[in-house]
């Protein structure tokens, strides 16, 4: 079932966005001192905001704003109105603390239920939720959406992989929600247990929280004989539930524009880019009460399209994230994202979707070492494979690593809990 709002005309959607933007800006101005200061510095008052086009006049919000106002300086409601607190992982410093009112939680459940419907899940399905519960938004985000949808939820959380496989088989789990790297680890573990992962009842993998290239998606779908559906979200806006692929087309992620207004900007100049051009994704919350967010620079690199999808949904779609603006690798003057390297390497059947990138500095020069895991059944010539991979990297990216090493199957550390780490910068 597709909701009417998902099929709304662009003009209808624009009217709703304009109304909600006016409310959001006034709410932020009146209740968040930092936004009041930023808006006044930009010479913008709530009265100046009339239509959604005026979003371009608003100042950006960045990670620095969350750090400066840690823990609750960006909250727009009193403590007694807050019903839940979550936080980002905080891997690069203090975590970003986010809050929800009762209405915020209702909206979160709504957009997550909508996302799961778009993924092909319905109330008759059993969803095994292998995202971590707790401060991370993944676990409770998917849990609340599945319950709002009326589905049966198995809250396994992350880790304990053998038990995950047993439960999926014994309970007939129709879908599993997890990171893409964990989906592959699940398949590997099943094989080690003597269980054919393709025989598991899982028909849909709801993945997110990590960049997933098309070759990795294909690997997931082949290993588990399931449909892989990408989900997108971030704690600063709400958590998972910002955007999702539809199962009908799998042609970009539908952004729920009635709650999150998207822009793509040039990461260097901050200027908005037209549809189809790649840049940094910027999101504005349109219905958040506890933590309204104006023009948040996500750091995620993508493109937007506004053409109606084959499924009939009319909301903007974003491509899968190709990398993060702050994850850009500059090696010997060449700009690269790890996902671009992954795309090329995984074209080869002889390797597993497991790799790591190590960066070093020798004197004034950068050095990259790329380590790739071989397929378990590989019995070919490593030197010949190395030449082929290096030639393909040079052809596709005009770049080759200083060293390319192939290691045996199982040599690269897997991640059962949390996000996988691919890049190790020793510079």
- Compute the mean pLDDT over every residue in the chain, rounded to the nearest whole number: 93
Q: Which residue has the higher pLDDT, 48 or 413?
A: 48
Angle made by CA atoms 357, 412, 378, in degrees to the nearest 5: 105
Per cent of the chain over pLDDT 70 is: 96
Residues 10 and 61 in one domain: yes
Q: What residue numbers bound the domain in which 66 lies?
A: 1-322
Last residue of a domain, one of 322, 346, 377: 322
Query: Quick one: pLDDT at residue 1?
Result: 79
CATH number, domain containing residue 363 = 3.30.300.30
Give the whole-angstrom CA distance, residue 245 versus residue 258. 17
CATH number, domain containing residue 2 = 3.40.50.12780
Give the whole-angstrom CA distance, residue 47 versus residue 63. 27
Task: Tell me: pLDDT of 139 over 70.
Answer: yes
Domains in the chain: how many in total? 2
Residues 146 and 269 in one domain: yes
Task: Report pLDDT digits (tens) over 327-384.
Answer: 777 776 677 778 788 888 888 999 988 889 988 877 666 788 999 999 998 999 999 9
Task: Tell me: pLDDT of 174 over 70.
Answer: yes
Task: Tell me: pLDDT of 243 over 70.
Answer: yes
Task: Tell me: pLDDT of 90 over 60.
Answer: no
- Lowest model confidence (mean pLDDT) among 191-200, 272-281, 387-396: 387-396
Residues 288 and 345 in one domain: no
Give the whole-angstrom CA distance, residue 322 versus residue 332. 21
Task: Report pLDDT digits (tens) over 25-73.
Answer: 999 999 999 999 999 999 999 999 999 999 999 999 998 899 899 999 9
Task: Report pLDDT digits (tens) over 4-14.
Answer: 999 999 999 99
Residues 296 and 355 in one domain: no
Last residue of a domain, one of 273, 307, 322: 322
Give the whole-angstrom CA distance, residue 322 versus residue 37. 34
Residues 2 and 54 in one domain: yes
Q: Is 132 exposed, middle or buried (0-12, 13-18, 19+ CB in 10 A)?
A: buried
Beta strands in 212-302 (DSSP E): 227-234, 239-245, 253-255, 260-265, 279-285, 296-302
Q: What is the pTM of this model?
A: 0.83
Residues 159 and 199 in one domain: yes
Give the whole-angstrom CA distance, residue 169 versus residue 374. 29
Query: Quick one: pLDDT at residue 3?
Result: 93
Residues 315 and 333 in one domain: no
Q: Which two tokens stand for residue 355?
A: 């790799």
Say if CB 388 and CB 381 are below 8 A apart: no
Residues 149 and 295 in one domain: yes
Query: Quick one: pLDDT at residue 363?
Result: 64
Last residue of a domain, one of 267, 302, 322: 322
Mean pLDDT, to the nearest integer, of 309-337? 82
């Amino acid at each position: 079932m597709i909701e009417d709002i998902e099929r709304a005309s662009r003009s209808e959607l624009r009217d709703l966005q304009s109304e909600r933007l006016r409310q959001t800006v006034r709410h932020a101005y009146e209740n968040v001192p930092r936004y009041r200061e930023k808006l006044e510095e930009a010479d913008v008052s709530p009265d100046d905001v009339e239509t959604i086009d005026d979003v371009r006049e608003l100042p950006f919000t960045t990670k620095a704003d969350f750090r400066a106002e840690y823990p609750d300086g960006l909250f727009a409601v009193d403590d007694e109105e807050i019903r839940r607190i979550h936080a980002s992982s905080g891997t690069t410093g203090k975590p970003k603390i986010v809050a929800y009112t009762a209405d915020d939680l209702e909206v979160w459940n709504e957009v997550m239920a909508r996302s799961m419907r778009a993924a092909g899940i319905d109330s008759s399905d059993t969803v095994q939720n292998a995202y971590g519960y707790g401060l991370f938004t993944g676990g409770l985000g998917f849990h609340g959406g599945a319950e709002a949808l009326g589905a049966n939820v198995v809250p396994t959380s992350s880790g304990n992989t053998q038990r995950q496989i047993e439960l999926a088989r014994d309970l007939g789990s129709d879908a599993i929600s997890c990171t893409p790297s964990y989906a592959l680890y699940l398949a590997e573990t099943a094989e080690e247990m003597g269980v054919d992962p393709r025989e598991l009842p899982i028909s849909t993998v709801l993945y997110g929280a990590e960049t997933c290239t098309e070759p990795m998606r294909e690997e997931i779908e082949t290993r588990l004989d399931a449909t892989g559906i990408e989900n997108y979200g971030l704690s600063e806006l709400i958590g998972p539930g910002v955007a999702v692929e539809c199962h009908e087309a799998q042609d970009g992620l539908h952004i729920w524009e009635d709650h999150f207004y998207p822009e793509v900007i040039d990461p260097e100049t901050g200027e908005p880019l037209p549809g189809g051009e790649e840049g940094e994704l910027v999101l504005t919350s349109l219905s958040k009460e506890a933590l309204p967010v104006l023009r948040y620079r996500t750091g995620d690199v993508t493109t937007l399209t506004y053409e109606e999808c084959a499924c009939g949904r009319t909301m903007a779609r974003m491509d899968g994230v190709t990398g993060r603006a702050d994850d850009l690798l500059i090696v010997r003057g060449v700009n690269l994202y790890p996902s671009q390297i992954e795309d090329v390497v995984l074209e080869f059947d002889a390797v597993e979707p497991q790799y790591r990138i190590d960066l070093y500095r020798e004197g004034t020069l950068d050095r990259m070492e790329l380590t790739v895991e071989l397929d378990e059944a590989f019995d070919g010539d490593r030197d010949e494979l190395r030449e082929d991979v290096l030639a393909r990297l040079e052809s596709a990216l005009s770049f080759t690593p200083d060293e390319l090493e192939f290691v045996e199957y199982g040599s690269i550390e897997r991640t059962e809990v949390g996000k996988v780490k691919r890049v190790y910068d020793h510079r």
